[in-house]
Structure formats: C-alpha cells, structure tokens
Structure 1
Amino acid sequence: MQKLINHVRNYNEFTFDTEGEKSTKQLALIQIQTIPQQLPFFVILVELAHLPEIYPAIVYQWFEWLIKTSMVNLQLKFADWYSWAISH
C-alpha cells in the first residue's frame, strides 16, 4: 500500500473508468490508471461490492476535493472507432 501511495503522489494525471452492475444498474467498479511520463504505470481497481461506501476514502483523505478534471466519455465514440479500426 505504501508503494502505491508513493507512486500516486508523484502524478497529477489519471484516467478513471467506471462499470455498472447489469442486474442492479449500480456502480460496481472504479478503475484508476496513473499516466506517468515514464513507466511503470499503475491500474487500481476498486470493486464496490466489497466497499459499502466511498466515505472511508474521504475520512482518510485519499482524494483531495475538488478534483480538477476534464470529462471525456469515450464509450460514445468507441463503436465508430472500433468499426474504423477493424476495417484497417
């Protein structure tokens, strides 16, 4: 855990991806990937079925609020990109 904390402290760019549970339509998984200038990068998976709520992350100050971000929903463009990529 300390290695992960030290790694993440050195970066200010990340990607976040979320997945929902199909049957309940509830948030089920959060994926966080660091974007370093040099490897290695880390992928952190938070499976919410085993984490009753995100409140402990706030208490232990895992995140700084407000997080500066830009939102890009790539899922809306993926089908067109995939069709293009598979044809090449």
Structure 2
Amino acid sequence: MLPTLEFDLKTGKLTGSTGWSKLKGDIRANADQLTIDPKTNPRPANPFETSFVDALRQVSLFRVSQNRLTLLVDGQYVMTLRRT
C-alpha cells in the first residue's frame, strides 16, 4: 500500500496512513513554511515507515504545482505527493 495524507489546514489536523499504520497529527502552514507533527503506532512496521514519519517531522517548507505537493527539509526536496 502507498502512504496517504490528508491535510485540514482550518483545523490544523493531519490524517492518513503510512501504508501500514494509521497516521494522525497536527499541521501548521504559514506562507511557504510548514510544520508537521505526525503521530503513529509506537512500533513502526518497517524501516520505510520509520523513515517516512521521520521525514514528515523534519519538513519545513512546501511547494504546490500541478496537483502535486512537494515537501522540503532544509531547502532539499524530500518527497512529492500527488493529489488523487
């Protein structure tokens, strides 16, 4: 399964899945800055899940273009999400 993320900027909530576990948390956006505080099971299912959640925690900037959301850490692209 692929990871999924849903952002509700009005309430500041994040929901979705890592592909194995449900994901929820908090999200804040201001201009192009983004802070994500994901919460998942205390024991990740595998190394991908651990890396995915860790990357979300480190996100500081975002870009939106052509139905894609690109997340950046320290100015470096870490993942691009496609709208479904």
TM-score, normalized by the shorter chain, greater than 0.5: no
Quickly name the TM-score band, shorter chain normalised.
Answer: 0.3 to 0.5
Greater helix fraction, Structure 1 or Structure 2: 1
Bigger-Rg structure (1/2): 1
With normalisation by structure 2, the TM-score equals 0.34
